[in-house]
Structure 1
Amino acid sequence: MTLRKLIANIHLYIGLLTGLLFFIIALSGAIYTWQPEFSRIAFHQTVIQENKPFISITDIKNTLERNFPEGDFRTALYRDPESAIEVLIYVPGTYFHAYINPYSGELIHLQDMNKGWISKLKNLHRNLLLGPPGREIVHWVTLLAMGMLITGMVIWWPVQGKPGKDKFNIKWSASPKKLNYDLHNILGFYATWILIFTIGTGIFWGFAVVRESLKEFSGENTLNWESPQSLVPPASQVNSKDEVLNRLILEYHTGYPDSEVRINIPHKEEEAVQLSVIQPTAGINAVDFYYHDQYTGELIRGNFQNGLAENRSTFGKINGLVYDIHFGSVWGLPGRILACFASLIGASLPITGFLVWWNKRKLKNKKSINSI
């Protein structure tokens, strides 16, 4: 058996073994690329802009106490004038997002984030709706898919010489069998240049050895981080925490008008208030984190793991970049479109590949019968 034949067999058997699962993972990933848009519609996040200031943290707490008193208020995300405030709430066993009108304080929508079709779509992509065992299956299918991409590129390259025009252009007028072969061979070639990044980032998430090796190589394990903490004053000098939170969110949201601002609600005595300044279209690595004393509101300075974007470690930047690459958002809207189309083509490859194998198998059996 020649090396090329061996590679072709590896490609075939990986495809037959993982084809159905890869189809599900790729198709759900293509659809989930548009999760922000789906969520905005499904969770009623759009509001009518008013010529009024945004509500305070105290107002949000009052709304939650009236409508969802059993919830544990964790964070509030203040966005643009036409978007509801997104509030993260913990309850035992799950978590909710509450969407609140930023002008009136009205609760618009309350969503259990472990329920609903968007959650099902996310879990289908991440774990095939099978929980932790399914997540392990997805990880290994992803790893095998990388092998399938590499062997597919080897098979695509002609035995002799350089690729001709027929390797790049689909002949739409060809017979159904030839057309199916072109759809698998040629679309697979084009999609591979995107899929190699989306699948590679999936491997980064799926295998701790990859992340730990990168940490070691980048020097992340040698870095020492400080922990931002509030100074707990004597009981007689404790001010209203809401007053500090209200002041901070007003200061940041008005100070960064083109950004979104998330504020974390402290739950421990020494915990600092964390404020995240987010540029919506700039990716995770553009997020700046600031810390303030929850009692005085004073800015806390230090060498924090999550600090200013410009001070992020090499591993921290790569870790943030992985998410943006996986969904294509690193290239903005065009990148998301590319990632979606590449994933759709990826989902089609097990189908067209199976048909290529099946047609060859029928032809081989027919020749065997005719030779008798």
Structure 2
Amino acid sequence: GDAGVFTSGGTQSNLMGLMLARDAFYARQGHSVQQNGITGDLRKIKVLCSENAHFSVQKNMALLGHGYQSVVQVKSDEFARMDVADLKAKLAQAEANGEQILAIVATAGTTDAGAIDPLREIAGIAAERNIWVHVDAAWGGALLLSEKYRDYLDGLELVDSVTLDFHKQYFQTISCGAFLLKDERHYELMRYQAAYLNSEFDEEAGVPNLVSKSLQTTRRFDALKLWMGLEALGQKQYAAIIDHGVTLAQEVAKFVAAEPRLELVMQPQLASVLFRYRPEQLTDIAQIALFNQRIGDALLDSGRANVGVTENQGVTCLKLTLLNPTVTLEDIKVLLALVEKTANQLLNA
């Protein structure tokens, strides 16, 4: 059956997914990484993820002893989602090079665009080749509770492991994350028997002992926060506040698109809006980029607002992450007026 464990957050959950994917990959070849360490030519073993995947994929592959070189980035489409045609091309290329694929990491909610990779298609492609699929749903996983947007996660039920982060759109205080595993047997790949852990007796007595499923031994009771949140709000209320963020992003995008000096950089997919200020006086791309960076910095320095600055397909832009369920479109209009006012001050300085 399915089995989950709480973690310190997305990076640790992604580490669990990649580690178990790797150990299962070697186990199929009759080799125990746990007992004997990594073997073979590591340059021939790859992990695929989109170019918008979280940096923890690289970080964790380095930690696991495979290095950044093991991570192959798949191109993304205009909405920052993994391009399935390029995924197939990269798989064919790997085969031609005599390389093996340890795992495919799909993302459900990229950091900037909130993009969700085509999970069902990716799972299908992986199943044909017996490749482990891990989904980093640290952000988008909140849509599991959504009523309006749940179908964005279509195909999530087909994958091998999933990262969830409750300290994002589930509104918990940090840290509060989880790792979900489709086939509980895979935890055997990381079990360690020590007499003082007493885990065999615990299991017989029906006492949960999570040490054999976790990278941590001493653990905080992070599940309590989520349980209390669900208990206090109930699923309907939770769904309403998650949906509010996604719907608000769409309303803000409409408003931005209608403002003469503001430009929508990408149609929102989750609860973030990427936009930029376009001054009439500046035509040079680099100048516009620097100007938007300066707007973000000036707002932060003023102590009035913290508007993110990021880059999307080479375009420097401003980013609103609309996670506060009490914020309304009117509040955002006030913030955007402040962005325009700050821009004018910078232009006339």
Range class of TM-score, shorter chain: under 0.3
| Bigger strand fraction | 2
**Structure with bigger RCO (C-alpha 8 Å, 6+ apart):** 1
- Structure number with bigger Rg: 1
TM-score (norm 2): 0.27
